[in-house]
Structure 1
Amino acid sequence: MFTNDIIASFNELETSLYNYISQNSEKVPYMRIRELADETHVSTATILRFCRKLDCEGFSEFKVKLKMYLQENKKTIIKSSQQSIVEFFDRTLKGNLEEKIREAANLVIKADTVIFIGIGSSGILAEYGARYFSSLGKFSLYIKDPHFPIHSKLRNNSVTIALSVSGENNFTVTHLNQLKQEGSKIVSITNNKLSTIAKISDVNIAYYVTEEFFEESNVTTQVPVVYILETMAREIHKLHE
């Protein structure tokens, strides 16, 4: 509703009005124009000019649009951690997850180089995965820059482990394509097996939990990813023995 261009067009009085509405958005839809004018110390003419900048013919239309905007942007109710974990166990652990982890572990143990990639929260976990694998005896690298120079020796007989909740992140897909074209085997950990990243992988491990968003951020639980990474690393360590 309040785009950057519209906010930039506000004069000093309109900016003051915008600030008040932002801080009292639940209250404003139930105010009369005179009440808002008294509260913000501006004229009703300023309020009407403000409304026209938002493509509203008058204050009544503005209040309707503001109500709709607030309804569409209500905060998501985030599930408890226990709910997410139970969902993961119910949907995934009853399937072939352990088999997929063993398949990926067998692929990784044969590789000379293990490369982790991911972006955002998946990138943080990719870095954790590289450290955890290395701690259990399988030296691994986390690389977040798709243009990072990788020596040909590292590309030969390598496995790339890609982390992505949606499996559709353009940055990760691009990075993965480059590594795949250079001969790296691909293991992906995604939230479902029908995503782009899953489809271009040699082995995909899907964990199936409900994706959650807060405002514009993906806040889907990452507990299943930690479980999968640690289980895979332990399986690799066992195969080394």
Structure 2
Amino acid sequence: MAKVDIFSLIRSRYNAFTNTEKKVADYILENMQDVIYMSITDLADACHIGESSVFRFCKTMDLKGYQEFKIALAHSISKEEETPQLSGEITMQDSIGELSAKILANTVSALTETLNLINEQDISKAIDSMIKAERIHFFGVGASLMTAMEGKNKFMRITNKSECAIDSHLQIMSAALMTEKDVAVLISYSGSTKDTIEVAKILNERGVKIISITRFAKSPLTNYSDITLLCGANEGPLQGGSLSAKIAQLYLLDLLYAEYFKRTYKESVLNKEYTAKAVIEKML
């Protein structure tokens, strides 16, 4: 239980909660120090719901019951107290020093939460699929396209099967020609970008293995995904393309790259030498 981060879990699944579950989640996030000492009845009364609703919330969080939830909450609070961070809220009054510290805190928080959300089995399955695939195609639009291009750039140094189309029309055409022997890595913070969902639908129809990198465990994109990798950055609706979200996505791509390299070491080392030599003349 010590490895379960309740706050990361709540934020990643929040969109999929019922209205009643959101009441419980909101109360926990706003009163975490009080909840740890509350009984299931106390929490139910505070949220103006029944005890059974609190229990269902715990089950939704993949916990056996309320006591297991309280143990996980205690561990999560301890982690936050061990690594105190500045508020990520930036104001017009912030000095350059305060601004620097807050941006750093946001970035560290995004990476830490992403680490807490990593499922080793999902990473392993993703790598197995990528190694077996004939092609690995990275997809994304807007800010997520930049991340997808970085994914292609990293993997093309060690394998000749990575691809990334820039235009949304080219992306959907590429998806239409992929087969069950290929793997698609779809990147979308919200998991609800229309162009990406359209690509996911076609890939699903073609039987392509889909790996999604997204913020939320439940979204239109994850409905089509075979493997979902969650990033931990919090991004407001008017904050699209924040670097903390991008860094969290890049962290997951770096993890996939490193594990792929390990499992295909002989081939990857050789290919990395070839690609390094190919660009050596471009350097001073």
Within the candidate set 84, 108, 126, 1:104 is matched to 126
Partner of 2:227: 203
SS, match of residue 83 in structure 1:
helix
Q: Is the 8 A contact 1:213 1:220 kept in 2?
A: no
Q: Which moved more, 1:117-126 or 1:152-161?
A: 152-161
Q: Is the 8 A contact 1:190 1:207 kept in 2?
A: yes
Could you tell me which amino acid in structure 2 is paired with residue 77 of structure 1? I
For structure 2, list consecutive stretches of 5 or more residues without a partner in the other structure: 1-88, 92-98, 266-284
Could you tell me which amino acid in structure 1 is paired with residue 158 of structure 2? L
Q: Aligned equivalents of 2:177 and 2:240: distance in 1?
A: 38
Q: Is the 8 A contact 1:212 1:218 kept in 2?
A: no
Within the candidate set 159, 162, 180, 2:183 is matched to 159
SS, match of residue 161 in structure 1:
strand
Q: Which moved more, 1:154-163 or 1:201-210?
A: 154-163
Q: Is the 8 A contact 2:191 2:215 kept in 1?
A: yes
Within the candidate set 205, 213, 220, 1:181 is matched to 205
Query: What do the CA deviations read for 1:44-86 (whole angstroms, capped 9, x no partner)?
Result: xxxxxxxxxxxxxxxxxxxxxxxxxxxxxxxx83883322233
1:232 and 2:245 equivalent?
no
SS, match of residue 198 in structure 1:
coil
Partner of 1:7: none
Could you tell me which amino acid in structure 2 is paired with residue 219 of structure 1? S
Q: 1:89 to 1:99 in 2, by over 3 A?
A: farther
Q: Which moved more, 1:112-121 or 1:174-183?
A: 174-183
Give the TM-score, by structure 2 length. 0.52
Q: Which moved more, 1:94-103 or 1:189-198?
A: 94-103
For structure 1, list consecutive stretches of 5 or more residues without a partner in the other structure: 1-75
Q: Which moved more, 1:99-108 or 1:149-158?
A: 149-158
SS, match of residue 132 in structure 1:
helix
Q: 1:119 to 1:239 in 2, by over 3 A?
A: same
Say which one has the larger Rg: 1
Partner of 1:212: 236
Q: 1:231 to 1:217 in 2, by over 3 A?
A: closer
Q: Say how many residue pairs are matched.
A: 165
Q: Aligned equivalents of 2:256 and 2:211: distance in 1?
A: 11
Deviation, structure 1 residue 101: 2.2
Could you tell me which amino acid in structure 2 is paired with residue 178 of structure 1? I
**Percentage identity across aligned positions?**
24
RMSD: 2.5
Could you tell me which amino acid in structure 2 is paired with residue 119 of structure 1? V
Q: Is the 8 A contact 2:178 2:206 kept in 1?
A: no
Could you tell me which amino acid in structure 2 is paired with residue 201 of structure 1? S
Q: Aligned equivalents of 2:120 and 2:175: distance in 1?
A: 33
Q: 1:89 to 1:181 in 2, by over 3 A?
A: same
1:123 and 2:145 equivalent?
yes
Deviation, structure 1 residue 128: 1.1
Greater per-residue helix proportion: 2
Could you tell me which amino acid in structure 2 is paired with residue 176 of structure 1? A
Greater per-residue strand proportion: 1
Alignment of 1:1-241 (within 5 A): 77=90, 80-137=102-159, 139-145=161-167, 147-148=169-170, 149-150=173-174, 154-214=178-238, 217-219=240-242, 221=244, 222-241=246-265
Q: Aligned equivalents of 1:98 and 1:156: distance in 2?
A: 24
